[in-house]
Amino acid sequence: MLDWENLRYFLALSNSGTLLGAARTLGVEHATVSRRVALLEEQLQARLVDRRGRKITLTVEGERIAELARRMEEQALATDQARLKQDRLAGTVRISAPPALSDLLLPEPIAKLRRRHPEIEIVVAGEKRYASLNRREADIAVRLARPEQGDLTVMRIGSVRFDFYASPSYLAETPQEQWSFISYGEDMDTSPQHRRLLDIAGGRRVGLRASTLEFQRAMARAGGGIAILPDFFVGAGDGLALALVEDEPVTRDIWLVVHSDIRDVPIVRAVMEAIKEGARRRVGG
């Protein structure tokens, strides 16, 4: 029996052509992709890729296995659609959302939905990477960037404002010209909020980079510097104060995304309506 997970990693590699591209698609380290492909080659006792150079080239056997994997994926997707296309509200729906947004938008409306329809099962992937709806890595996604590719139905459900925060003691003790800033990880370098932070920082030091909002908030609370955080993530009891007031702060729209093939499936539509209800109450959707 072939390991489908190894095949899935190999298919991502064949589609992207590079280990880094496959790793970004799958949301893993490139070493994991390399290891999985090596395991598949060992299992098949065949060389599937030519590893010379940065661009991956498939061998003849690799092309054959890649086509086999594509057919298997298509059959799995067809089965998945059949699973969803039923009239009664029962089954599993997978939601992909950034962790902070999933915490904000999903618990109350999803709990309410499941009280009405207990046969619905929800799987929430709180992840920063964007799961592929075309490959059915998720059925529904909540995103801060509007997708431009794929047969997707996209709707705006609210917006998020970003402001600069620090502990009151840090602001009282540190002159503005000596401020140190807390920024996002490298995977967020192109985000509007990160670019605004660099603009405001100017030549001042960015002393910390952290991939999670929770750690950035904790560092700002501990006097570690100035962080740019979404408004919903800072409460009255968080021990933070506005570091500065901008005339035009960064604001990002929140998008609800679903593959167009399943947007009218009853169970998917019910979950989408629940998410929109949560957005109306929390972020002005």
Residue pair 98/105 in contact by the 8 Å Cβ criterion: no
The tokens 């061998």 sit on which residue? Answer: 59
Contacts of 238 (CB under 8 A, 6+ apart): 217, 221
Distance between alpha carbon 157 and the CA centroid of its chain, in Å?
17
Closest Cα to residue 230, out of 198, 257, 194, 256?
Answer: 194
Tokens, residue 230: 């979404």
Q: What is the DSSP string of the chain?
A: ---HHHHHHHHHHHHHSSHHHHHHHHTS-HHHHHHHHHHHHHHHTS--EE-SSSS-EE-HHHHHHHHHHHHHHHHHHHHHHHHH--SSS-EEEEEEE-HHHHHHHSHHHHHHHHHH-TTEEEEEEE-SS---TTTTS-SEEEESS---SSSEEEEEEEEEEEEEEE-HHHHHHS-GGG--EEEE-GGGTTSHHHHHHHHHHTTS-EEEEES-HHHHHHHHHTT--EEEEEGGG--GGG--EES---SS-EEEEEEEEEEGGGTT-HHHHHHHHHHHHHHHHHS--
- pLDDT tens for the chain, residues 1 to 285: 567 788 888 888 888 778 887 887 777 888 888 888 889 888 888 888 887 666 678 888 888 888 888 777 766 665 555 555 555 677 888 888 888 888 888 899 899 999 988 888 998 886 655 556 656 678 898 988 888 777 788 999 989 999 999 999 999 999 999 999 999 877 787 889 999 999 999 989 998 998 888 999 999 999 999 999 998 888 888 899 999 989 899 999 999 998 888 888 888 889 999 999 888 877 765
Domains along the chain?
Answer: 4-83 (1.10.10.10), 88-285 (3.40.190.290)
Amino acid letter for position 71: R
- Looking at beta carbons, which pairs linking 103-107 to residues 24 or more positions away fall under 8 Å? 104/232, 104/278, 104/282, 104/283, 105/142, 105/254, 105/275, 105/278, 105/279, 105/282, 105/283, 106/275, 106/278
Exposure of 56 in the CB half-sphere (CA atoms within 13 A)? 23
From residue 102, alpha-carbon distances to 24, 136, 208 in Å are 21, 19, 25
Question: What is the CB neighbour count within 10 angstroms for residue 5?
Answer: 11
Residue pair 53/77 in contact by the 8 Å Cβ criterion: no
